Amino acid sequence: MKLKVNWLEYILGSEWEIYPAGGATGDAYFAQFNERKLFLKRNSSPFLAVLSAEGIVPKLVWTKRLENGDVITAQHWLNGRELKPVEMYGENVAKLLSKIHHSNELLDMLKRLGKKPLLPEEVLSDVKMCINTPQELPNLPLIQSAIQFLEQEVNHIKFDHHVVCHCDINHNNWLLTENEQLYLIDWDGAMIADPAMDIGLLLYWYIRREDWNNWLNLYGIHPTDDLFARMKWYVIAQTILSISWYHSKNHEKEVQHWLKYLQNLISN
């Protein structure tokens, strides 16, 4: 559906066709004029410039500031597709995530933007706060068991080498272009944290247990019991947060799915 967006027409000109790009905020758009195509977003983080320079997201074309203080960014709009779940096994995924986690440039930029390392104690506090909003969740024995596990292990999963974590490595956020270039997009939730946060979600969600060591070798890390313990801790925490979020949206089917998933996590 073509849109009339005054602030974009002010920047681009009325000859451009503008379409919604989806997303939670509704501040992302596609724009096209003849063969020129752009992806535009309002108030993206300054972090985007470093991600572009590192080749992790599509190239940043320009940044403009409006009179009201809003900042508009334009990136190349590339023809491509999201990865399929089975493609998360790929060496290209492991290599790109490793590049992100080992980038001092990304880490320095997030620090300059005021980000502090996200510690396990803070994650546990967030989890407890989330489940206390819908009153029935804290009373579920499964949730109680999961919280107890997080509390017992929180002091055993310390890790001092914090990196930039994407924190939402769902296959929908991986863009593969027509020329086989892979990008990781949607960086609004990026954190400085234990890399096990990203690695754990990716392995638990997409990679068969018997293939974990092979994938980690592609990433460039030696599998250890300590890594696996940290991965499991963060995956359990994220699963509880997902249950709480879906419950708040009255998505009962998803709530039941993640409760079953949590049961399997606690049992293994």
**Angle between helices 252-267 and 225-248 in degrees, nearest 10:** 160
The neighbour count for residue 69, using CB atoms within 10 Å, is 7
Residue among 193, 142, 133 nearest 168 (CA): 193
Coil, strand or helix at 257:
helix
Task: Check if the beta carbon of residue 150 is closer than 8 Å to that of residue 263.
Answer: no
Task: Check if the beta carbon of residue 73 is closer than 8 Å to that of residue 50.
Answer: no
Residue among 29, 35, 110 nearest 75 (CA): 29
H-helix segments, the chain: 6-12, 47-53, 91-101, 104-112, 120-131, 141-153, 196-206, 212-219, 225-248, 252-267
Residue 254, both tokens: 């998803």
> Among this protein's residues, is 70 annotated catalytic?
no
| Residue among 126, 168, 186, 188 flagged as catalytic | 168
Rounded to an integer, what distance in angstroms lies between the CA atom of residue 194 and that of residue 152? 18
| φ, ψ for residue 60, nearest 5 deg | -80, 125
Residue 176, both tokens: 């593969």
Rounded to an integer, what distance in angstroms lies between the CA atom of residue 91 and that of residue 101? 15
Which residues carry out catalysis? 168
